Structure 1
Amino acid sequence: MASAPQTQPQLPLFYNDLVPLNSKEHRGFHSRTVDSAPWLAKQHAIPLTADEFIQAQRHFPIVFSSGDNPLPLALMGLNEGVNTFLDDNGKITEPVYMPAYIRRYPWLLAKLTNDTDELSLCYDPTCEAIGDFKEGEPLFDDKGEASEATKGVLDFCEKFEQSGARTKQFMEELTSRELLMEGEVSIQAGGDDAKPFLYRGFQMVNQEKLNELDDETILTFHKNGILALCQAHLMSLDVMRSIFQRQLDQGKGPKADAKT
């Protein structure tokens, strides 16, 4: 969930390039609203912060990525390249909670050099929402100072980084106590004789291990909110079948054994 330095060859999901925002080069730039997100149309798994679990669990299954450093993910579709909440042009088809990771784009706080911990506000220049055009909100005022819109973006990005730090702490608790296990969901489509579709390749909280925690740990988890996050995650898994049905209704159902 942490922001990637500009010098790293692999940029975060959605980002094609990063340019530091500065008043000298971008004084006349504006930020405008766009009515589609083609960069999101084919993304089925979106990074999610722990702060969003309660809101997101009503809309998406929340799972954890595989590997040694798992991250929470909101599944907007169950198969690669399928987002059931956007059409092929990237337009939202119905009201839905949008994860902060999506709302942050095309902005990002990133290190300009590897020898500093200071983060600078950057943006993806390939995004059509930011540019040297007249419409939209100005990024700087006549004096070259950051506009209110830019200050708002900076505040949002700073809060996102703080939320990312809390998410990291949450994940460290889960992994250090070995509360994650390999997930598997079987969904039956068609008649009783139809072969079920198996979804693997993700991790989930081991509810049995969670229930076996000692009373002191359970009380601590309750007080610091970890227990509520685990419960929101486990409850959200029921939404997998709803997402699967959305895929079928949209003609985007899986053709064979599938993985998230």
Structure 2
Amino acid sequence: MTDAPMTDASSSPLSGNVLFYNQPEPLDPARHGGLGVNAADKPYAFVGATNFVPLTVTEFAAGALSFPVVFMGDQKQPVAVMGLRQGENLYVSNEGDYRPDAYIPAYVRRFPFVFADDKQNSRLILCIDRGAPIVTEGGETPLFVDGQPSDYTKMAMEFCNNFEQERLRTEAFVQLLGELDLFETRTANFTPRNPDGSAGEPQRLAEYFAVSEDKLKALPAEKLAELRDNGALGQIYAHLVSLLGWDRLIALAFQRSAQTPSAANN
């Protein structure tokens, strides 16, 4: 894949809706030559606005240590489940601190940069979220130096290039699972305890797609060997192990709920 252009991009018809980004603009030295990025005390506070974040397939193992990795929607988009309710993220405190022991998805780390799809010219264009609070005129880390991309911008472009390659690899992985008919619909449930200790009425937390262990076991030996050799089998097992993380989410939700009343009284 070629590097994304950054000049004469503002006239290109771009498409794509991206989580977290409010005002993405094609990066252009004529338009953004004076912009820079300031360091933030809580750089990942914006993640607190959502309860899921997209993951690439190569992040499954690292993500599995922190949260459930599931597939969502018609496209079977892999995501990290970070909360039980829409708009609530249990890995970001009310003060905007990201849990230090939790994995930070690459989707989050690339912010405020992102690629936009220029379908007319069959290319990707590097954009920056002009609405991000850390992006300001005269920011401490400039985007351009003497009209050329700064080292910071070059690193951002490389990161986004790598992310795009991983995104395409993830699409191929999901397509392969679909072709093998390995997906099944699952639900995450929680059974509360009544005051007397008996089991209460089960509550459904979420419905999602996951790999069926039964379908996986039923694959021919040569197909399993193929999945093993191309690395897909390891990613599948990382996904399956991650589903144990629903219990951790429930525990974090109880912890958050217990902290809220005391915080409100202070």
TM-score, normalised to structure 1's length? Answer: 0.88
User: Which residue in 2 is equivalent to 1:237?
Assistant: 243
Query: Which of 134, 138, 146 does residue 133 from structure 1 map onto?
Result: 138
Gaps of 5+ in 2: 1-11, 260-266
Distance 1:170 1:247, change over 3 A: same
Is the 2:189–2:206 contact (alpha carbons within 8 Å) kept by the matching residues of 1? Answer: no
Letter in 1 for 2:144: F
CA shift for structure 1 position 252: 7.9
Instruction: Please tell me whether the aligned partners of residues 192 and 199 of structure 2 are also in contact (alpha carbons under 8 angstroms).
Output: no
Match of 1:153, SS? Answer: helix
Cα-to-partner distance string for 1:167-187 (whole Å, 9 max, x where unaligned):
000000111111001011222
Give me the identity figure in percent.
Answer: 29
Provide closer, same or farther for how the CA distance between residues 205 and 100 of structure 1 changes in structure 2, counting only shifts above 3 A: same
Aligned to 2:213: 207
Contact 1:66 1:201 in 2 (8 A): no
User: What pairs up with 1:14-29 in 2 under 5 angstroms?
Assistant: 14-29=20-35
Unmatched tracts of structure 1, length 5 or more: 254-260
Structure 1 ranges of 4+ moved more than 2 A: 5-8, 35-39, 88-91, 185-193
CA contact (8 A) 1:82 1:252 kept: no
User: Counterpart of 1:257?
Assistant: none
- Give the one of 239, 243, 246 matched to 2:252: 246
1:74 matched residue in structure 2: 80
Counterpart residue type for residue 171 of structure 2: K
Of the three residues 187, 191, 202, the one matched with 1:196 is: 202
User: By how many angstroms is 1:6 displaced?
Assistant: 6.1
Q: Whose helix proportion is higher, 1 or 2?
A: 2
Contact 2:14 2:116 in 1 (8 A): no
Give me the TM-score of the superposition, normalised by structure 2. Answer: 0.86
> CA 1:81–1:252 in structure 2 vs 1: closer, same or farther (change >3 Å)?
farther
Report the counterpart of residue 59 of structure 2 in structure 1: 52
Tell me what 2:6 maps to: none
Within a 5 Å distance, the mapping from 1:1-260 to structure 2 comes to 7-8=14-15, 11-36=17-42, 37-67=44-74, 69-111=75-117, 113-135=118-140, 137-141=141-145, 143-190=146-193, 191-251=197-257
CA distance in 2, matches of 1:210, 1:47: 24
